[in-house]
A = this chain, B = another copy of it.
Amino acid sequence: MTQQKILVNGSWRNAQASEYFQAFNPSTGEQLEDSYPVSEWKDCDAALSAASNAYQSMQNLPRDTFAKFLECYADKIEANASSLVEMANLETGLPTSPRLADVEIPRTCGQLRQAALAARDASWTHPTIDTQNNIRSVLQSIGPVAVFGPNNFPFAFGSISGGDFAAAIAAGNPVIAKAHPSHPGTTRLFAELAQQASEEAGLPNGAVQLLYAMSNESGLKLVGDARIAATGFTGSRPAGLALKKAAEEAGKLIYLELSSVNPVVVLPGALQERSSEIAEEFSMSCLMAAGQLCTKPGLLIVQDSSEVDAFIDSIKDKFQQGPVGTLLSPNAAENILNTSSELVAAGATLLTNKSEFESGRFCQSNTLLEVSGDSFVSDSATFQEEMFGNASLIIRSRSTEQTISILSLLEGNLTGCVYSGTDGSDDEDYDSIVPTLTQKVGRVINDKMPTGVAVSPAMNHGGPFPSSGHPGFTAVGLPAAVKRFAALKCYDNVRVHRLPELLADKNPGGVWRQVDGQWSQSDIE
């Protein structure tokens, strides 16, 4: 058993720890060999000081250095993809191909390279110049950022490889990554590559650091520490809420992605027109990656009609006969079971039969439940609890009005989908429900399922609380995601030779700037 080291201030060192943990292989249920430290506060403190020092010198680095780091890191990830994929498969049970090798590796490298473009191009900094008053403002780096990654995307949302990491670095900030305990080995391999890339690109020691774990108390202290500027957290709601409280009480920023049930409304015309395609799409979207996706459709709302029984039966069959994916953590199966039991106790019907599975592997039978619109409305808090995994709830609504009531009772969600007839027969219904839906979600979708979040400049992976902590920002999509880790700085009457490059009269890079109200790539005359 190897006791792994943490990455602090540019070197791999033994942690200050009296506790250690091991990850599991979800495909067998066995504990893995390597042992990872639960850092004491001293490690957090050392990382914070190193990040703070790193930030001082990072402020003087050209933006190109951050871009080079991100590109060099992406290259190294590609060059080492096979070992990353192998380790992640071992620690998460996620399929090697296509998922890890052919989807997540390209996505992760794509994000890092888009972040590099954002660092170089700097359009996201929104330079604004008022020539008459000689006042100029721009978004700049904010300071050390802590990133807590989730368990379900070991690469693309990984704490030292994913979107938050890429965005924080692109803005010019050091990152203290906190590994998810389900895949510490994967995170370690990424951190090794990140550290090499950091050295090659000329980032200072402490620009990228890795801790595996810490006590809850230390975690809360970390996000509220004076040396931290902001935190990015993706994960469970209770942990996220505790960190949110600690950060915000200290006046610190924290961007969160907590929970989402991603309602899908299928309108009558759509059901009449293409019921079997929708049943197929919905089931695929629920069961892919064992439903362990933040945009898994956890609520399907259909209006009762003669087609509905067959539609629900068809989904039920797909759940019963479909492959049962591997869950990421030892307690995931029990969580699904417990939540579905709560729903049944509250009045839902379990449509799928439980089956037996091989012992060892972390899994739970695909779980489909149904509840009436009346029941949902009478106990909406219970029925909209997120079941993270291969489980979903169908709501049989009595009418368009009831569908609106159901939507109006939802908490904030990342996404909301509407399937409607292509012949226009649902257009009136669409118009009456979508205003309510739009208020509850960050992304409105037509005629497709919410899973598969494109890394697009126009994406919003965010939404009203608790799907995110701030509905004005997205966690996916560049350069928009970078803005979370930036502070607005204004230069008022500052002498010309002292202005930051992006606010100078000359604009040799042709950055898009708002000069006296007009967007321009020109110099100021």
Contacts and interface: CB of A to CB of B under 8 A. Distances in A.
Contacts of A484: 472
A469 B251 contact: yes
A136 B493 contact: no
Contact of A130 (B129, B251, B458, B493): B458
A458 B135 contact: yes
A357 interface: no
A445 B488 contact: no
A277 to B, nearest CB: 15
Given A143-B439, A512-B519, A457 B490 contact: no
**Oligomeric state, in number of copies?**
2
Interface in A212-268: 244-245, 248-249, 251-253
A446 interface: yes
A244 B512 CA distance: 35
B135 A456 contact: yes
A298 interface: no
A493 B457 contact: no
Contacts of A32: none
A435 interface: yes
B59 A435 contact: yes
Contact of A137 (B438, B460, B491, B494): B460
A387 interface: no
Contacts of A430: 498
Contacts of A492: 415, 443-446, 448, 454, 459
B498 A442 contact: no
A493 B419 CA distance: 11
A474 interface: yes
B435 A490 contact: no
Nearest to A517: B457
A466 interface: yes
A59 B435 CA distance: 8
A40 to B, nearest CB: 27
Contacts of A445: 492-494
A237 to B, nearest CB: 11
A20 interface: no
A492 to B, nearest CB: 5
B143 A490 contact: no
Chain A to chain B: the 7 pairs with minimum beta-carbon distance, closest first: A251-B465, A460-B490, A471-B487, A443-B490, A130-B458, A135-B458, A130-B456
Given A135-B458, A251-B466, A446-B495, 10 more contacts: A59-B435, A137-B460, A139-B472, A142-B471, A253-B472, A448-B493, A454-B492, A471-B487, A472-B484, A472-B488
28 contacts: A56-B435, A59-B435, A130-B454, A133-B456, A135-B456, A135-B458, A137-B458, A137-B459, A248-B248, A253-B471, A442-B489, A443-B489, A444-B492, A445-B492, A445-B493, A446-B494, A448-B492, A457-B514, A459-B492, A460-B489, A462-B488, A471-B488, A472-B486, A472-B488, A473-B488, A474-B488, A474-B490, A519-B519
